Amino acid sequence: MHRTYSMRSSRAPTAAQIATPPPPVSSTKGKFFGTTSIADAFRKQTAGSFGPEMARKLSQLIKIEKSLERSLEAVSVERKLVAKQLSIWGADNDDDVSDVTDKIGVLLYEIGELEDQFIDKYDLYRITLKSIRNIEGSVQPSRDRKIKITDEIAHLKYKDPQSPKISILEQELVRAEAESLVAEAQLSNITREKLKASFNYQFDSLRELSEKMALIAGYGKALLELLDDSPVTPGETRPAYDGYEASKQIIIDCENSLTSWTLDNSYLKEPLLSMHQGIDDVYTVPEGITEGEVDAEGEWANHDQDETEEVVA
């Protein structure tokens, strides 16, 4: 957030920004080619055409995600330009319009900053997916070797059933199958581990961005309350604007809310699952409800509809 609380003055880093190191910069930033370039379109179309066959579909997904991050980066840049231009336009208006538009510009610029940080955190999801792609690529040779040996054995049994090479190939097939079992087990384990970790990165970053944007939107609406939108008759003068301290305090309150936000104290609680097997699967239980009061369908027994609706998600 702007320490000067204005788009028309220089900005300084906040205490939170100094104390908390930023996440690694996304690998998609600072590239010469944009999201609409021919090179970018070519990369997306050809991502699934090269490399080990097992890894092609995931490779294409990773390339598309990279393009998505570049699009988000463009949105962040445009958002900051909008914030600056709003403040520039508002400066030539009445005092209340000038002050409110300047402060709204601060909030919009902060959204752009949050979107920029979101890209860095979102990139952790994409990078984690790469580890699955890499293990898929490493498993492909063992699969190909097993298939090749199997085909050779079938060919020899058809062409020369008495060939001594058959027994040798069968021994190689046993070793290849053992190697393949190890590789497949490793693929299965890593896929689940990394898939869970990658989408935790994505959902956590989405949750942070959305909740912080919701906070900013609320403070933005509070700023609008400082505008006197009552109609005036020709020649009538509006009362002098005295909301400068109030608008600054709104920005300060917004900054404090954003600084103190964490996943642990976020406003969005864990979801209440409608499909569960017992009371232990429900995140939040209404006061006074015990496990024995849950019927076979997972509904609260012996309570009317009004009480049921009081379950907090």
CA–CA separation, 65 and 80 (whole Å): 23
d(CA 136, CA 131): 9
| CA-wise closest residue to 298 among 270, 279, 271, 272 | 279
Task: Give the pLDDT confidence score for residue 88 in this predicted structure.
Answer: 94
Supply the pLDDT for residue 103. Answer: 95
Residue pair 194/62 in contact by the 8 Å Cβ criterion: no
- Which pTM does this prediction carry? 0.67
Which pLDDT does position 72 carry in this prediction? 94
Rounded to whole angstroms, the maximal C-alpha distance in the chain is 111
CB 287 within 8 A of CB 273: no
What pLDDT score does 136 carry? 84
Collect the ranges in the chain with pLDDT lower than 50: 3, 16, 32-35, 282-283, 285-286, 289, 291-313
Q: Specify the CATH class of 15-229+241-268 in words.
A: mainly alpha
Using DSSP, state whether 294 is helix, strand or coil. Answer: strand
Q: What is residue 276's predicted lDDT score, i.e. its pLDDT?
A: 59
Chain region(s) in the chain for CATH 1.20.1270.60: 15-229+241-268
State the Rg of the chain over Cα. 30
Tokens of 197: 């970790």
